[in-house]
């Protein structure tokens, strides 16, 4: 058997597979084979090992990443419209981040997509109270400041008075927020009062507040009130949002972006 000039070491190759699977969320065996220039048998064997280690989950035709909690939750509806919209919203938000700025990311899947994009940047500072965003940025990328506080398992975020201890000491250029619901009458609402409180503190200490919410959140009202619309500078949503909604918000001086 003739080996190539530089046959990648087995762990090296598996690491490569791992990140390829993680990047795309899923990967086909055939694509991996072309990318790594080894036989499908080797790919399969590697996937078997990676599955034992719990890094990926094998499926017919390829494998799914088990490392990113982002995929874990989004996987089942990866192709769904909602997920695509969230991704587009995140990409649009990414373009708003300027050079050497500091940004805040709160919990939620939309901001998590943004976190993944921000991984490329090393010139910025990311402040977050989301453990998932933290994990996403743990290996490389921007400077990260984590708020700390009490851990809330349901949302995988840090909440409570201890969190604000740090938040009050810092100021960010832009705060990217998710939400459970927003409507013209009640403003922004979310499920947990503690989380609502954190969002308020952040909004007060941010240059710009950018709300990222797909149209499924429109006209929804949740339990805990976060803030009124006058706190929000920009809303990024999608085209399925009611027309009069956009119109009213723009009249109130809020920039509405529909990528």
Distance CA 109, CA 7 (A): 39
The length of the chain in residues reads 259
Interface with a copy of itself (CB under 8 A), residue from 4, 41, 99, 153: 153
Is 228 a residue that touches DNA (CB under 7 A)?
A: no
Give Cβ neighbours of residue 253 (< 8 Å, ≥ 6 apart).
none
Footprint of DNA on 58-117 (CB under 7 A): 58-62
Given a contact cutoff of 8 angstroms between Cβ atoms, the answer to whether 25 and 75 are in contact is yes
**Per CB under 8 A, which region of 42-50, 99-107, 159-167, 204-212 contacts a copy of itself?**
159-167
DSSP character at residue 142: S
Residue 245 zone, left/alpha/beta (φ > 0; ψ -120 to 50; rest):
alpha
Q: Output the six-digit token pair for 59.
A: 């499926």
- Give yes or no for residue 100 binding a copy of itself (CB under 8 A): no
State yes or no: residue 12 binds a copy of itself (CB under 8 A).
Answer: yes
Give the Å distances, CA to CA, from 251 to 37, 193, 211, 237, 245: 57, 29, 17, 17, 10
Nearest-approach distance from CB 3 to DNA, in angstroms: 4
End-to-end CA distance of the chain: 52
17 binds DNA (CB under 7 A): no
Bridge partners of residue 102, in order along the sequence: 125
Question: Applying CB under 8 A, which of residues 78, 143, 239, 250 lies at the interface with a copy of itself?
Answer: 143
Count of other CB atoms within 10 angstroms of residue 78: 13
Identify the residue among 42, 146, 184, 205 touching a copy of itself (CB under 8 A).
146
Minimum separation from the CB atom of position 244 to a copy of itself (A): 42
Contacts with a copy of itself in 55-94 (CB under 8 A)? Answer: 59-62, 64, 76
Work out whether 45 is an interface residue with a copy of itself (CB under 8 A): no
Angle at 46 between CA 42 and CA 49, to 5 degrees: 145
- Residue range at the interface with a copy of itself (CB under 8 A); choices 24-32, 41-49, 87-95, 212-220: 24-32
Residues in contact with DNA by CB under 7 A are 1-3, 7, 10, 13, 28-30, 37-42, 44-45, 48, 58-62
Residues in contact with a copy of itself by CB under 8 A are 7, 9-12, 25-26, 28, 53, 59-62, 64, 76, 131, 134-135, 137-140, 143-151, 153, 156, 158, 162-163, 165-166, 169-170
């Amino acid at each position: 058997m003739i080996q190539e000039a530089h046959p990648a070491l087995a762990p090296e190759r598996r690491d490569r597979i791992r990140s390829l699977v993680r990047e795309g969320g899923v990967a086909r065996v055939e694509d991996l084979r072309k990318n790594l220039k080894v036989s499908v048998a080797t790919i399969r064997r590697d996937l078997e090992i990676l599955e034992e280690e719990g890094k990926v989950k094998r499926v017919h035709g390829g494998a799914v990443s088990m490392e990113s909690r982002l995929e874990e939750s989004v996987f089942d509806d990866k192709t769904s419209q909602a997920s695509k919209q969230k991704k587009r919203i995140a990409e649009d938000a990414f373009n708003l981040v300027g050079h050497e700025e500091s940004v805040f990311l709160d919990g939620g899947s939309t901001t998590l997509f943004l976190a993944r994009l921000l991984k490329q940047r090393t010139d910025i500072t990311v402040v977050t109270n989301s453990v998932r965003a933290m994990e996403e940025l743990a290996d490389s990328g921007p400077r990260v400041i984590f708020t700390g506080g009490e851990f809330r398992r349901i949302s995988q975020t840090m909440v409570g008075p201890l969190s604000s201890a740090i938040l009050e000491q810092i100021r960010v250029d832009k705060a990217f927020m998710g939400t459970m619901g927003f409507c013209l009458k009640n403003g922004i609402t979310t499920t947990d009062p503690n989380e609502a409180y954190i969002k308020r503190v952040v909004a007060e200490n941010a240059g710009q507040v950018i709300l990222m919410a797909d149209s499924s959140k429109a006209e929804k009202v949740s339990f805990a009130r976060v803030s009124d619309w006058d706190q929000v500078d920009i809303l990024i949503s999608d085209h399925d949002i009611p027309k009069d909604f956009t119109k009213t918000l723009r009249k109130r001086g809020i920039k509405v972006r529909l990528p």
